[in-house]
A and B are shown apart, each in its own frame.
Chain A
């Protein structure tokens, strides 16, 4: 029993991260129909920027995290402004799906390269937020940082729900995701929606990176795998569904932890991809995706 609880805790902790990254994919996909393969890099930026800000003594410790989130948000908006928008909103038809995928992958290589040059290739660690003393539950040890991660996820979900349902700009973003042309006709500025979606997703990614940095350490290249698994979470839940991305992320995290614990830890990283391939073959729209029919 204690063993099972142990796997459960670690699975939920990782799952919450995949959920936060998956949410980022969903928000950008809704606003722009772009899959942002640089999403994982924002997780890395969040952790690395916080570590560097604290180590460099540039800002006080309590300010380092919000500044790091803001930095990531800024980089996200720059990515939209200078790389995605020129291609996606080109006159005479936007870039193809493949073209946009290559642009965001190019951006992820660029960001990784920049961090490698400026901050080095070492592992970094943030101190835990509330001590490193594990909480004992029925014989299993719960890292208190996991509670912070879960709390962060809950806060983000509640915040996003409020933003998209109660604020004027949030509603505008939702409208644009349903029908871009109709949204433009009622005066919604699509460029601002796109910019905001990238900024918001990047900030969410960075938050995930900061919350987990005390558990998993951070390094210039951790974003690749996290990004891909976040993409798995978003697809598993059905692209564009924020609720689906959260459930998909938690499900992947749990499956991964159980498989690593009971089957084979060597193949832990393969679990998410095996699940996604099987699910896509059986249910081509993801678990919570709407059944769509093609309009001719």
Chain B
């Protein structure tokens, strides 16, 4: 019998959750939160390939998310492009940018890499803030509905199914990538770049590949976000948004595809729950970030999986 790919059980479980969740969601507000969760999760799945598997940090992924979002928004709103074409153009553009900057930037290590990616993200945010004629600046811009032919995607419930499908596709792609030669190469270079290079792994090539893949994931999620929310502000490109993505990955669990999904779910839903605390929201959010890092440094999913299995595994699970 052919071996099932790694994480098939998890993928089926996630599909079941996506299918059955609508039965318990009481109204459109919750569908909207679910849509945002799914989009954040797609970014985190890509980012987790970079951070969790390849061991490279990025504090600038909100830049890629925003580039995708604003490409879709500007091309459809200002130039009347069809939405799918705008989305594709954004993704190709972001992929190219990521490809060009990947080699020089991914030579850097640790804090220097953090600084460089942070710098790139902030430059994108500042440009979006300043090019008011195109982006609407800090006031934001409205985005046309996503339409193919005569069909328009509007309403939180429609978007729930679109994003749900996209999320499952992203998880499937990620699981397959990890289970391939590329995944093994990434884990090897995470363990030791020198050892991996000695074993014949083309380090710059794989780092560039995973950087481009994670940037394109973020760009596509950004495009979907622009059309789902119909309103876009530069906050989406901000430093704090980049931090949010990284925190989701680390909270959920590095080197765990489902960890990224769980982290995204918690950090998207949590602020909604904390909204009742009004002024104390940021205080609580900061405290939770610190607490999780101290008590669960490996993140939720790997920590819980270890508890359940009682079979400690070094580093990488599905």
Contacts and interface: CB of A to CB of B under 8 A. Distances in A.
Interface of A: 29, 35, 83, 86-87, 90, 95-103, 105-114, 116-117, 224, 228, 231-232, 235, 239, 266-267, 269-270, 273-274, 276-277, 280-281, 284-286, 294, 296
B294 interface: yes
Interface of B: 51, 57, 59, 104-105, 107-108, 110-112, 114-116, 118-120, 122-123, 126-127, 130, 192, 194-195, 239-240, 243, 246-247, 250, 254, 279-290, 293-294, 297
A276 B116 CA distance: 7
Contacts, number: 136
Contacts of B240: 224
A269 B108 CA distance: 24
| 8 nearest A-B pairs in the assembled complex, by CB-CB distance | A110-B286, A106-B289, A113-B282, A109-B286, A113-B283, A273-B119, A106-B290, A281-B104
A72 B307 CA distance: 40
Contact of A102 (B123, B127, B130, B289): B289
Contacts of A296: 192, 194-195
A281 B105 contact: yes
Nearest to A96: B297
Nearest to A231: B115
13 contacts: A99-B293, A102-B246, A102-B250, A103-B289, A103-B290, A110-B287, A111-B286, A269-B126, A273-B118, A277-B119, A280-B108, A281-B105, A286-B112
A101 B290 contact: no
Consensus secondary structure, chain B interface: helix
Given A110-B282, A116-B282, A269-B126, A284 B293 contact: no
Contacts of B130: 266-267
Contacts of A117: 279-280, 283
B193 to A, nearest CB: 8
Given A87-B297, A110-B290, A284-B107, A116 B279 contact: yes
B293 A235 contact: no
A270 B285 contact: no
A276 B113 CA distance: 11
Nearest to B254: A98
Contact of A87 (B105, B126, B279, B293): B293
A245 to B, nearest CB: 13
A102 B247 contact: yes
A113 B289 CA distance: 13
A111 to B, nearest CB: 7
B290 A98 contact: no
Contacts of A239: 111-112
B239 A224 contact: yes
Contacts of A86: 294
A284 B239 contact: no
Contacts of B247: 102, 105-106
Contact of B290 (A107, A116, A231, A284): A107
Nearest to B51: A98
A289 to B, nearest CB: 9
A83 B290 contact: yes
Contacts of B110: 97
Chain B CB count within 10 A is highest, among A35, A109, A112, A284, for A109
A270 B294 contact: no
A103 B282 contact: no
Contacts of A111: 286
Contacts of B119: 232, 273-274, 276-277, 280
Contacts of B195: 296
A98 B55 CA distance: 10
A102 B283 contact: no
B300 to A, nearest CB: 14
A105 B110 CA distance: 16
A69 to B, nearest CB: 23
B123 A274 contact: yes
A110 to B, nearest CB: 3
Given A90-B297, A99-B297, A109 B115 contact: no
Contacts of B105: 280-281
Contacts of B57: 97-98, 101
